[in-house]
Amino acid sequence: MRFKCVSKSWQSFIQGSYFVELHLSRSKTHPQLLITVQNLNCDSLSIFSPEDEFIGGVALQKATVAWSEHAAMLTPIDGLCCFVDYLYGVTCICNLGTRQFTPGAQTSVNLGTPWAQFQTSANRGTRQGEPFEEPPPLVTQKPTYGFGFDPMTKKYKILCVWEICNHALEAKYFLGLGTMRPKLEQICEVFTVGENQWRKIDEAPGIRLSGAAVYAKGSIYMRNDGVDLFTPPDNEVVVAFDVGSEKFRVIQIPDFIVGSSGTVKRDSDRRARNLLQIDGHMALMDRVDEYVMKLWISDDSYKEKKMTTNWTEETIWLPSPFQEGHYPRLIPVQGTDEIIIASQIPAHIDPSPRRFVSVYIYNRTMKSSQEIDIAGVSALLTSPYPYGMFIYHESLVPIQDAEKKLDRPT
């Protein structure tokens, strides 16, 4: 934004809410595909965007950000990108358009052993059936993050639900050494962009959460998990967090989507586990067979605060390469009838260390797909490089307390 330097009046106009909202409104008619690639040292994340948008073309590097092994990027909202570190509970907000980002904000929760560290410790000694090199921790904190926006106050917020897991008590209960199932303990905190600090709230969902959260129309949505690490849920629900009121509510998922209650035998059998946002609505998706995925699109709204919702079913026909055991990832292009479909060949199909990732754009109206060829980055979209894909709208939305600039691409 070099025009800010022309004069103070130009700077004031460009930073004014009218211009910022006008720029964002125009930007939403030109969505971009963001591709993130983590380097092998896990210390940086490169962010690319195809020159010809959803047709493909040369991959242009937009930025490089500092990274860590347990970090993740949440789905951007209005040009703001949210980075979280699951191990240390640190959060950063970045605007790629203005090249500003906030200082890292530490969680307000007193961390013992984060869940990521527990998994590392537990896996280290059990892969070959060997004893633990060191015993896994008895109490861990497992975070679930969600990034959202309050349309009433125009504030952007991050939700984090910390689940406190006492593995010693759970083990005693399932070994028959304890009579009481361990009580679910959750701590919830909220980060408001511009305040740059986490604050605890009294609300908690009271339900174990599973998978990634999605944002749609004023609410952050999450799927439920079983009552403990070993038991699948009796009822399938969506937990909604209203960004404005900072209250939780539970939406029941009907049996025609998830099947009859009590039929689930294993966690892998659960239907419609994954959430996504499509057409501005929360939706459930499920892989029906090699050729077909089903979407169930909700009409839920934070204004009505309902416990039930109407669902519209839609069929997605997968490109032929996905019929051979590939695991599809769906990224809807908001404001259009198109979906990005990406898939990596799983290890049992191709045991080679570099497994190809194919990328397609799917037209929901025409029920047709076209492959996207992105020059200069396709070689990186292979194992072992962790990668992500997001839909992004460039914006001038300000980030208060921004003190640093992103490194320019090299």
List the beta bridge partners of residue 316. Answer: 293
Q: Return the residue matching tokens 């591709």.
A: 35
Rounded to the nearest 5°, which phi and psi values hold at 169? -70, -40
CA angle 74, 224, 110 (to 5 degrees): 60
Distance (Å) of CA 387 to CA 40, 98, 323 = 11, 24, 22
| Residues pairing with 328 in the sheet | 343
pLDDT at 168: 59
The set of long-range contacts for 185-189, using a CB threshold of 8 Å and a minimum separation of 24, is 186/161, 186/162, 187/109, 187/161, 187/162, 188/159, 188/160, 188/161, 188/162, 189/107, 189/108, 189/109, 189/159, 189/160, 189/162
Per-position pLDDT tens, the chain of length 410: 554 555 555 556 566 677 788 888 898 999 999 988 887 777 888 898 888 888 878 888 888 888 888 889 999 999 999 999 988 899 999 999 888 889 889 998 887 655 555 454 445 444 444 444 444 556 677 899 999 999 999 999 999 999 887 665 565 555 555 555 667 789 999 999 999 899 999 999 999 898 899 999 999 999 998 766 556 677 889 999 999 999 999 999 998 888 643 333 334 455 667 899 998 999 999 888 888 889 999 998 777 667 778 999 999 998 876 665 566 889 999 889 999 998 765 555 554 444 557 789 999 999 999 988 877 666 666 555 678 899 999 998 988 743 444 443 43
Contact in structure between 284 and 257 (CB atoms under 8 Å): yes
The pTM is what?
Answer: 0.83
Rounded Cα distance, 23 and 19, in Å: 6
pLDDT score recorded for residue 181: 61
What is the distance, to the nearest Å, from the Cα of residue 381 to the centroid of all Cα atoms in its chain?
A: 19
CB 298 within 8 A of CB 282: yes
User: Residue 410's pLDDT is what?
Assistant: 36
Give the integer Cα–Cα distance in Å for 56 and 33.
Answer: 9
Could you identify the residue written with the tokens 């490169």?
46
Domain spans of the chain, in order of start: 1-30, 68-204
Contacts of 32 (CB under 8 A, 6+ apart): 49, 53, 391, 392, 393, 394
Q: How far is CA 387 from the centre of its chain?
A: 13
Q: Is the peptide bond before 50 cis (omega within 30 degrees of 0)?
A: no
> For residues 115 and 142, what is the distance between their CA atoms, to the nearest angstrom?
5
In this predicted structure, what is the pLDDT of residue 131? 47
